[in-house]
Every structure is written in C-alpha cells, then in structure tokens.
Structure 1
Amino acid sequence: MRHRVKLKKFGRPSDQRKALMKSLVRELFIHETIVTTTQKAKAASQLAEKIITHAMKKDLSARRYVNTFLNDRRLTNKVVDEIAPRYEGRKGGYTRILKLRKRRGDGAELAIFQLIKEE
C-alpha cells in the first residue's frame, strides 16, 4: 500500500532524482514548453509551481530561494522579473500537461509540459 507516499522515485537514487527535477524545471523556464514523459511532468510541475509562487514575492529571499533550484542568476532574474508577473492575479495552476502519444522505444506516455500563457 502506498498510503501517504507522495514522492515518485523513478528508479533512481535521490541525488539523481533531484538533478532530474531541477533540470526539467530549468528547461521549462528557458523554453517554456518541453516534451517529456507524463509522470516526470507531473512530478516537475509541483516544483515549478512552488518556484513561481515564491518568485511572486520579488524580494531578495525569493530570489535566493529560486536560485537554489535554478543555480543560474540570469534564469533566476527571468523567472522573477518576467515569468512570475504574468501570474499575479492567479492563485495556482501555472503549468499545463498535454498528453501526446506513447514513445516507440519503451512505450512510455509522452506529454507536452508548458507554462500557461497568461496575458
């Protein structure tokens, strides 16, 4: 039984799993749309939503929090100054996962993982 277990392990050690999630979120913020498996997109969306929510504060501690995950000052500035202000009136749901097809090699279900365009 998986009662109260929220973490997907993806068959990887914890350091590799953390690196995978950070790299998926980094690529999401750089390109704003990526193609990955559905399960990886669902796991990375939680982290991306937390980062955007913290970035909306726009203070020094928020920038430092975002930078701990992204580890890139330019990308941190982009998230805090460009991406987060798009969602000012929104309380959540900054990402979208659209299912595509099954991957030919291993049958994994692919999905488009993207930031919602908020105008």
Structure 2
Amino acid sequence: MPTPTKGPRLGGSPAHERLMLANLATALFQHGKIKTTETKAKRLRPLAEQLITKAKRGDLASRRRVLGVVRDKDVVYTLFDQIAPRFANRNGGYTRIVKTGPRKGDAAPMAIIELVEELTVAEPKANKKSAARKAAQQDKVEALAPAEETPAASADQDAEAPKSASGDTAEAREDSDEATENKA
C-alpha cells in the first residue's frame, strides 16, 4: 500500500484531491499543456505518466482503468489513439514541467506542465555487425542463384508461331491482312 503524502492535501480531503488530479489529467490530455501551480503540476506528473503507460498497452483492461480516472470518453479515445502511439518508443518521461513566474494575486509559484512532443518516430538502430551479416547473406543468395539467360530471346527462337482455331499461323494472317489492305 502506498504511503500517504505528509501534510495537508491539495484540496482538503483525499477524495477531493483525487478528483482535482483527475480533472487536471483530463485537461492535460485534452489540450496538450496546462498552466497550474508547481505543487499541483508535481503531483499530476506521476498520475499522467501512469495513464499514458496504460494507454500504450492498449487493451480493454487498460482502457477501463483509465476510464476510472478520466471520465471523459472523448479524452480517453484521444489518449489511446493519438497520444499513446506518439510515445511508443519512449519508456517514461512523457511530461515536462516548466516553471513560470509567480501568480499576480497571491504570488503562488506557477508552472506549465505539457506533454513532451515526439517530433520523429525513432526506429531501432541496427548495429554494424547485423548489417554486415545481412550483406553477406545477400551475397550468398546472389551467388547461389542460377545465371539466367535472356528468356525472351530463347523463347522467340524455339517457340512455334501461335495458330488460330482455323489452323492459320500468325504469318499467314499477316499476309492475308496485307492483301486485303492492298485491294482496298
């Protein structure tokens, strides 16, 4: 069982804190980044990362667990179908907290929490040994393949001219076509 946090909770009771973090997570997934206090951002980060990890799994049980926290079905759909595939090659660290200046009214330290953007999909790097093995294998396949002659040239010499149903050969048909053209 996880140890409860020391001191007062964000909104008073544990239930209110859970609801606040769920609403913050919903807003984060809906908008991509939100501006909140540093304390709330630091408390939101582990929850948001757990939800993204569950969404990366993509199965029904994970979807139901996420729906237990994020109540908006449209946001859950966005999380599973757009956000999670973006982080397929990343093992954690899906969010970033950037501190901003104090809030004007009460001087509370503010921060922006945002999803880290994956600009390119990183493909797994192939090491040099495996690339050399693949090249050697390709050379072996090419060496074992029989040397093919030009099939079109040998087929033209050995094959007979096609015959029609009436028994005429292609050459006879060409001659008869030329004769009819000359008459016309």
TM-score, reference length from structure 1: 0.91
The Cα shift of 1:69 comes to: 0.8
Q: How many residues align?
A: 116
Q: Is the 8 A contact 2:26 2:72 kept in 1?
A: no
Deviations 1:37-62 (A, max 9, x none): 01100101110000000110111111
Identify the residue that residue 85 of structure 1 maps to in structure 2: 85
Alpha-carbon distance between aligned partners in 2 of 1:14 and 1:5, rounded to the nearest angstrom: 9
Give the greater-gyration-radius structure (CA). 2
Q: Report matched runs for 1:1-119 at 5 Å.
A: 6=5, 9-10=9-10, 12-119=12-119
Secondary structure in 2 matching 1:56: helix
Deviations 1:49-94 (A, max 9, x none): 0000011011111111111111122211110111011111111010
The Cα shift of 1:10 comes to: 2.1
My pick for the range that moved more, 65-74 or 51-60, is 65-74
Q: Which has the higher contact order (CA 8 A, sep 6+)?
A: 1
Secondary structure in 2 matching 1:118: coil
Runs of 4+ in 1 over 6 A off after TM superposition: none
**What's the C-alpha RMSD, in Å, of the aligned pairs?**
1.5
TM-score, reference length from structure 2: 0.60
Percent identical among aligned pairs is 38
Q: Is the 8 A contact 2:55 2:79 kept in 1?
A: yes
Alpha-carbon distance between aligned partners in 1 of 2:46 and 2:5, rounded to the nearest angstrom: 11
Which structure features the higher share of strand residues? 1
Residue ranges of structure 1 left out of the alignment (5+ in a row): none
Alpha-carbon distance between aligned partners in 2 of 1:117 and 1:26, rounded to the nearest angstrom: 18
Alpha-carbon distance between aligned partners in 2 of 1:86 and 1:72, rounded to the nearest angstrom: 21
Secondary structure in 1 matching 2:29: helix
